[in-house]
Structure 1
Amino acid sequence: MDATDRVSPAGAGTAGTAGAAGTAGAQPVDADPAGAVPAEAVPAEAVPAEAVPAEAVPAEAVPAEAGRWGRVMGLALACHPGPALAVTALGSALALGSGLGGPRSALVTAAVLTGQLSVGWCNDAYDARRDADAGRRGKPAADGTVEARAVWAAAAIALALCVPLSLACGTLAGAVHLAAVAAAWLYNLRLKATALSWLPYVAGFGALPAAVALSLPGGPWPRWWTVTAGALLGFAAHLADTLPDIAADRAAGIRGLPHRLGATGTRLLLPAPLLGATAVLAFGPPGPPDAGGAAALVLAGTVALAGPALGRRWRKAALAGAVAVAAVDLALLLARGVAGA
């Protein structure tokens, strides 16, 4: 065995390495006692790169780009991208379907998106310590992927952008939307662990069609059934979103309405607001309900009942069912309009 083999990790030296040394005329050192050849006597280039333990590489040697990219990805995941994009898509569809036009619809979409980003980042930053204690996965602010203060900064920037974007849609429309965003922040900071945990969801989802209607030229009032249906969908969204995490949230000391009802009670209650939202949109407008409304009610009822029933097999089944019902309701809402007398 040559000197290179002795300072390498176990198994790093190979017969091929020893043979090459012998061919080059190197003197064997096997007769020397262990440690007779000082480590500094071995040229650094003589040690293969793969022979150096990973932990021996200083942190500074890791490319800065890799660290920055990880933080960017962590920040993107910390905003709760699924719900944020879903609510933004709902607002955009309402804006386009109401006849706002491209530029105005883009403005509404930007306002909703910045509001949702601020809420998502606020949620992850505020819950970072609790999520870390509970060992929850997929929480960048809790697992150290991104610092909580960076997430707080992102939430503040998004909120600062949301204010002028919302007010640009109209003073009253902007005020309604900002009130909904404020309610969502209040949920994160206080109401999430109380019996009023449902209230910000009801306010936020009910305010969305109202804000879109008020953004139209002349600022017409939203129709009552659109606001009522949105509020009911918000209540259902809260139940469905919380259902898979009731046990873990309880262990963390959270006592919102779904946690007080328990998993069984929440599962039994969930179909009611989902069916209620569809019924309001089917029967709320003047005149007899049409075939489309009746078909939507049957479809929504089937999905609303199937989601919670499948929850024991797929933890997100209830939420998926709620999203499907929301899609049906959105089609009904767009068919009937969001504003008018």
Structure 2
Amino acid sequence: MSLIRVRAYAKAAHFGPTVLITSISFVLAMRLWWEGPAYLIAFTVFLGQLVIGWSNDIYDYGDDLKHARLNKPLVAGEITVEELRKATFILLPIAVIANVIGPLGVKGGLVYLLGVGCGIAYNFYFKFSPLSPLPYAVACAALPASIFYATNRTPPLWVLAAGSMLGVAFHFLNVIKDLAHDRESGIGGLPQRLGKAGSSVIALVLIALTVVLFLNSPVSQDLSSIKLLK
């Protein structure tokens, strides 16, 4: 496979957010465990994010083509829909098995896969609904929760709340750039209904609340204390 095609598959996976989420999982796993399983956890998380990103580009292909989004590899002709669909169907069972039998364990793996399922559900259904923030809230809480469960810890409520709020904030900020095109395409998620100003305010409020929550958390003074959280 040529480097150009590898880059196309990476772009179709929304590589920036995928790397960000994978990195967060690695750092958290390092704090709660050690680098051996942390690398494996990051890899299995990465597989799940590929499935979410690829399914999104497959579903959005028609709309991306309509709006001539040439930054999308499917629209640019770097790969075809059939090729990406085939890769997704091959990867999906691998991602499921790897997460369940890997360091996350059955419980942690299933919790993370719940988040992956939320991402896919957003792509196919929730992006059209006023409940569009819900998959982000669940998925971004499921990620840290899965790693806590993998280390036989109960995830603290503040960690779940922080993950959910940051996920929802990202949802509102991420949609802003395409609001006009989304409305033309009949995409009626909550950000599209509230508009740019409303979405921006909600995102900023959620980020501010997350900062306040973190500053009042047990790890605000000493990040290493996260290892002691039960």
* Higher helix residue share: 2
Q: CA 1:278 to 1:234, structure 2 compared with 1: closer, same or farther past 3 Å?
A: same
The aligned residue for residue 102 of structure 1 is 35
How far, CA to CA, are the matches of 1:338 and 1:241 in structure 2? 32
1:267 corresponds in structure 2 to: 200
* SS of structure 1 residue aligned to 2:17: helix
Unaligned runs of 5+ in 1: 1-64, 293-331
Residues of 2 paired with 1:138 and 1:131: CA distance?
A: 9
Partner of 1:160: 93
1:149 aligned to which of 58, 61, 82 = 82
Of 193, 200, 205, the residue aligned with 2:140 is: 205
Q: State which of 175, 188, 191 in structure 2 corresponds to 1:255.
A: 188
Are residue 186 (structure 1) and residue 121 (structure 2) matched?
yes
Matches within 5 A, 1:86-101: 86-98=20-32, 100-101=33-34
The change in CA–CA distance for 1:186 and 1:269 in structure 2 (over 3 A counts) is: same
How many aligned residue pairs are there? 228
**What is the alpha-carbon distance in structure 2 between the residues aligned to residue 184 and residue 158 of structure 1?**
15
Q: Quote the offset at 1:215 in angstroms.
A: 1.1
Deviation at 1:339, TM superposition (A): 6.5
Q: TM-score by structure 2 length?
A: 0.92
SS at match of 2:78: coil
Post-superposition CA distance 1:192-250 (Å, at most 9, x none): 1111111111111111111111111xx11111111111111001110111111111111
Q: Which runs of 4+ in 1 moved over 6 A?
A: none
Partner of 1:337, secondary structure, is: helix
- Partners of 1:213 and 1:69 lie apart in 2 by 37
C-alpha distance in structure 1 between counterparts of 2:39 and 2:4, whole Å: 30
Retained in 2: the 8 A contact 1:110–1:165?
no
Question: 1:72 Cα shift?
Answer: 3.4
AA partner of residue 137 (structure 2): V
| Partner residue in 2 for 1:326 | none
Question: Could you say which structure has the greater relative contact order, defined with CA pairs below 8 angstroms and 6 or more residues apart?
Answer: 2
Rounded to whole Å, the distance in 1 between the matches of 2:149 and 2:196 is 38
Q: CA RMSD in A?
A: 1.9
SS of the residue corresponding to residue 186 of structure 2 reads coil
Q: Which runs of 5+ in 2 are unaligned?
A: none
Q: Percent identity?
A: 31
Residue in 1 that maps onto 2:70:
137
